Amino acid sequence: MERFMNFIKRQSPGLVITSGFAIVIFIGALLLLLPCSVKDGATVTFVDALFTSTSAVCVTGLIAIDTADHFTAIGQAVVALLIQIGGLGVTSVGVGVMIAVGHRVSYRSRTLIKEALNVDTYSGIVKFVKAILLTTLFFESLGAILSFIVFSQDYPTLHALGISVFHSIAAFNNSGFDILGGLRNLIPYQENVLLNLTTCGLIFFGGIGFLVIMDILKQRKFKKLMFHSKVVLTTSIVLIIVGTVLLKLTEHITWLGALFHSVSARTAGFSTYPIGSFSTAGLFVLCVLMFIGASPGSTGGGIKTSTFFTLAQAVRSMFSKRAVGAFKRSISKQNVSKAYAITLLSAIVVVVAVFLMCIIEPDIDFMKILFEVISAFGTVGLSTGITPDLSDPGKLIIILVMFIGRLGAMTLITMWVNRPEPNIRYAEEQISVG
């Protein structure tokens, strides 16, 4: 055991985090295959169980089989637990357990948390994890209460309570799972204002990141917020407004439906209208929102709002000749380079996955394949309805894309590349660009 722990300590944080997620996914798949997890008469293959587990841990929401129709209450509880672990992060949950039993949190554990939550300092990191757990409990409890008001009108009390708790966990962790059955998602409640707004609120706060939530609770005024928080909030609100307007213009849906899908498309995956009936223009708008995704340190995927903001400011700087930045603050060249790298790597992942899916699933429309891949990469979960009909190789590609999307392409690269910065540099040379 000691030799194993020493081996773990020698590995990069990226490798440890990646391995942790992979182990949880595999264990989750095995639990979902147990007879007590599968309903009588339902068939769950290993690939479908692995797909469901990956989608839950990576807080995506894409489903190969309907959760309510195939899994018992125990199986649904396993899915909810996997969503919770995936949303908080394997390392955060592990540290939370260590804190609960009174175990000292080592420097190594603090390093893993720092890497997983994308924070810049070790200072107060244990208190930060405690605050994350309490904040999660608060939002999910409030969401469950408000959801129960709606679901209790259509289901028996205990059943409604179960649906409400599951929905609240899924919404705050930005995972589009539902247990209503029939692959309906939230379509029966497309006109219910309370459930729509409650879900939007849970998605929004789950998607802006715990660091921003803590900053809001501490400062309470926009002017006093950290630069990062200002960027995340501004970008998120602008994307929601623009997305709402564009979806209303391209689709025959209500303003409430447009707002809901604008919020959900950024990383949650809930839908109140059938996505398969959306126009090509509407699907394209959703693709853009899904690719951008949520914010750093949140439960969502995508390239992140801060990355998009940095790219936008870098482009603006090229034309205005001003420094890259906003809110009377500059963005470092290192962050600009990182933003470009993340976007390029993400685009490569999407392009390669789409290409492979086009080969494996030649009968499926290209736009639907593109939509499904971007949804998987952004850990969103919106679907045009093609996922259950995919072949096993197609499902395995989507599984891999969800995994990459949740952890981030940069994390997976640093898993193998952990070199110190070189002291020697080559002379610069000019190259024609553009």
138-157 tens-digit pLDDT: 898 999 999 999 999 988 99
Spatial distance between the Cα atoms of 298 and 172, rounded to a whole number of angstroms: 10
Q: Is 423 part of a structural domain of the chain?
A: no
The answer to whether 56 and 67 have CB atoms below 8 angstroms apart is no
If one counts the domains in the chain, the total is: 1
CA distance 10 to 159: 48
- 422 located within any domain: no
Q: 1 lies in a domain?
A: no
Burial letters for 132-142: b for 16+ Cβ neighbours within 10 Å, e otherwise? Answer: bbebbeebbee
Residue 217 CA to residue 226 CA, distance in Å, equals 12
Compute CA distances 429 → 318, 338, 432, whole Å.
20, 22, 10
432 lies in a domain?
A: no
Choose among 155, 250, 234, 240: nearest CA to 195.
155
| Residue 434, both tokens | 């553009």
At 330, give phi and psi (nearest 5°): -100, 150
What's the domain range around 395?
7-413
Single out the residue of 352, 350, 265, 260 nearest to residue 300, CA to CA.
265
Nearest to 337 by CA among 348, 345, 328: 345
Phi, psi of 299 (to 5 degrees): -90, -5
List, in order, residues 6 or more apart from 175 with CB less than 8 Å away. Answer: 55, 56, 59, 60, 61, 83, 86, 87, 169, 268, 269, 299, 379, 381
Residues of the chain with pLDDT under 50: 101
Q: Are 336 and 314 in contact (CB under 8 A)?
A: yes
Region at 92 (left for phi over 0; alpha for psi -120 to 50; beta for the rest): alpha
Helix or strand run (H / E) with residue 329: strand 329-330
H/E run at residue 350: helix 333-360
Which of 164-196 are b and which e, b meaning 16 or more Cβ less than 10 Å from the residue's Cβ? bbbbbbbbbbbbbbbbbeebebbeebbebeebb
The identity of residue 267, as a single letter, is: T
**How much is the pLDDT for 412?**
66
Q: How many C-beta atoms lie closer than 10 Å to residue 433's C-beta?
A: 4
CA atoms within 13 A on the CB side of 402: 32
Give the pLDDT confidence score for residue 7 in this predicted structure: 56
Closest residue by Cα to residue 15 from 115, 129, 121, 126? 115
Asked if residue 336 lies in contact with residue 310, where contact means CB atoms within 8 angstroms, the answer is yes
pLDDT at site 94: 55
User: Does residue 130 fall inside a structural domain?
Assistant: yes
Residue 415 is predicted with a pLDDT of 58
- Residue 371: name the closest of 300, 262, 278 by CA: 278
In a domain, 383, yes or no: yes
346 within domain boundaries: yes
| Within a domain: 421 | no
Residue keyed to tokens 């470009």: 340
**Is the full-model pTM beyond 0.75?**
yes
Q: Judge contact between 208 and 232, C-beta under 8 A.
A: yes
163 in Cβ contact with 174 (< 8 Å): no
Q: Which pLDDT value is given to residue 300?
A: 72
Residue 430: the pLDDT is 66
